[in-house]
Chains A and B, each alone.
Chain A
Amino acid sequence: MLIRRNSDLTYADVTPKQVYFNRRQILRALGVVGAAAIGGKIVWHLASPETAVHAGAKLNVTVKSPFSTTEKPNTFDDITHYNNFYEFGTDKSAPAKYAKNFRTSPWMVSVEGEVKKPAQYSIDDILKAAPLEERIYRHRCVEGWSIVVPWIGYSLSTLLKLSEPTEKAKFVAFQSLYDPSQMPLAGHAGIDFPYVEGLRLDEAMNPLTLLCVGMYGESLPNQDGAPVRLVIPWKYGFKSIKSIVKIRFVKSQPPTTWSRYAPTEYGFYSNVNPNVDHPRWSQATERRLGEILKRKTLMFNGYSDQVASLYAGMDLKKYY
């Protein structure tokens, strides 16, 4: 009954034409009577409007990162059709549909606050600021599922250093674009927009923190946070803010969207931690997309070697 995705299928394998062809073959093989076939066809077409994937521009990736996991990445199809991007709807399949026409060009990212050199970067500036690396990271959602993604980008610290943060800068605040005219479903999400996130300065400067501009060799699909997002693989997915327009160095801990919405459920740190449960579900296990049974969740999502020292001496039950 459960169909496991065959990862050597490409997106072309699931074009509607192919689906259409297969369905008929299968139905015929089953000997399903004609009436049922027609009924099924109608239901099928009503239920599955076609969704096109934003065709990304090819990116020139020159570095294979030592931070990459050897685990098998999930398929492009999985990564582009199972998204939490509440500006484009709260259903996982909604962003693929409703972010289709999201305008990501022109796009400017402002770096400001406690810095000697505030700056405005276009996406071209960001693409040219450092060689692009492919980093295959595990990505763990607070909801209890995980995915492996071959992201493209470079360490956020590379860009942040260009602005020369001052002594006063202790935290970094991030903000997503919020354009209600392009995000008509955002009003139903239940959380406030624009989406904001934050990191402690040392977290932001950790080389593992990725400024991400693409995946699978291409620029980011809209539903995955185009044109530029963060990927912080040792924290729950909602920390990895999408479609960034503002990066601000600040003195004190900035507000973050989910923690503001439900402070007892989502903390500022939100490090992946199998020993600290979310009030409504266990964080001890996770379901890797493409698998049926759950697997054990690793401390810091398996990135302890790189980041555990950041939290030495901290009570992670208190600072969840």
Chain B
Amino acid sequence: MREFLRKLLVSKWSKVSVFLLCLSPLGYLGLRAYHGQLTANPVEYIQHFTGDWTLRFLLFTLSITPLRKLLNVPDLIRFRRMLGLFAFSYVCLHFLTYIGPDQSFDLGGMWKDVVKRPFVTVGFLGFVLLIPLALTSTKGWIRRLGGKRWQALHRLIYGTALCGVIHYYWLVKSDHRLPLLYAAILAVLLLYRLVDSLLKPRPAVSVSPAG
């Protein structure tokens, strides 16, 4: 069974399938647009939709490491970069709906808005933190930076996810159930890492290979 699962995960079709699955929210959005079912406020609908999916993909991405270890399926790593890049793609769409219809592509006005309103500030910060991660997501960049430094840089995703959850919480007027649900899931995913790193035995200096 485990062997079958492994084979399934490493087959080239698995990546294609996950890729298509990640695209399906966008397809659904397109379908709704087709039917004129983006509500009376299509801009807001697309904003919320792309924001929701950004958060979801951030959480999917952050789930990979715990799932690999807890379920002992290391091959899941194959999908992490793709999920992360999808989070970035959805946040780019989200940002486009903000800079375009909301700010009419007026960068000066946008900057004033970003500085003035905490909920926009934190959302914008989360977006900016994700940009270097998207840019350095290639194998070449892992090599150039070195595994350790690359990994350290990519811990910025914790910051992005945190910003995303706060952004959502501050946006909602009074019904905070969904933002709190996202916050709880994020808390579990981050706590797992904390506990994991505390339990991990530190390598003693003397054991390190003498170059």
Using a CB–CB cutoff of 8 Å, the interface residues on chain A facing chain B are 1-5, 14, 19, 22-23, 26, 40, 43-44, 47-48, 74-75, 77-79, 81-82, 86, 90, 92-93, 143, 145, 147, 188-191, 261-262, 277, 279-282, 287, 289-290, 292-294
What is the CA–CA distance of A54 and B98 in the complex, to the nearest angstrom?
35
B42 within 8 A of A: yes
Contact sample, A vs B, 28 pairs, CB 8 Å cutoff: A2-B43, A3-B42, A5-B40, A22-B35, A23-B34, A23-B35, A40-B31, A43-B31, A79-B40, A81-B39, A82-B39, A82-B40, A82-B41, A90-B174, A90-B175, A92-B39, A188-B175, A189-B174, A280-B171, A281-B119, A282-B113, A282-B117, A287-B41, A287-B43, A292-B42, A293-B101, A293-B104, A294-B102
Question: B101's closest neighbor in chain A, by CB?
Answer: A292
Question: A91's closest neighbor in chain B, by CB?
Answer: B175
Contact in complex: B170, A188 (CB < 8 Å)? no
What is the CA–CA distance of A199 and B56 in the complex, to the nearest angstrom?
43
Using a CB–CB cutoff of 8 Å, the interface residues on chain B facing chain A are 27-28, 30-44, 46, 101-102, 104, 113, 116-119, 170-171, 173-177
Q: Which residues of the partner chain B approach A14 to less than 8 Å between Cβ atoms?
A: 36
Question: Nearest Cβ in chain A — how far from B14, in angstroms?
Answer: 19
Question: A90's closest neighbor in chain B, by CB?
Answer: B175
Partner of A188 from the list B37, B104, B117, B177 (CB cut-off 8 Å) is B177
Contact in complex: B34, A289 (CB < 8 Å)? no
Q: Which residues of the partner chain B approach A26 to less than 8 Å between Cβ atoms?
A: 34
Question: B34's closest neighbor in chain A, by CB?
Answer: A26
Q: Which residues of the partner chain A approach B36 to less than 8 Å between Cβ atoms?
A: 3, 5, 14
Given A281-B119, A292-B101, residue A287 in contact with residue B175 (CB < 8 A): no
Contact in complex: B119, A280 (CB < 8 Å)? yes
What is the CA–CA distance of A111 and B37 in the complex, to the nearest angstrom?
42
Q: Which residues of the partner chain B approach A277 to less than 8 Å between Cβ atoms?
A: 116
Question: B104's closest neighbor in chain A, by CB?
Answer: A293
Partner of A2 from the list B33, B35, B116 (CB cut-off 8 Å) is B33
Partner of B40 from the list A40, A81, A191 (CB cut-off 8 Å) is A81
Question: B42's closest neighbor in chain A, by CB?
Answer: A2
Contact in complex: B171, A290 (CB < 8 Å)? no
Q: Which residues of the partner chain A approach B38 to less than 8 Å between Cβ atoms?
A: 2-3
What is the CA–CA distance of A190 and B172 in the complex, to the nearest angstrom?
11
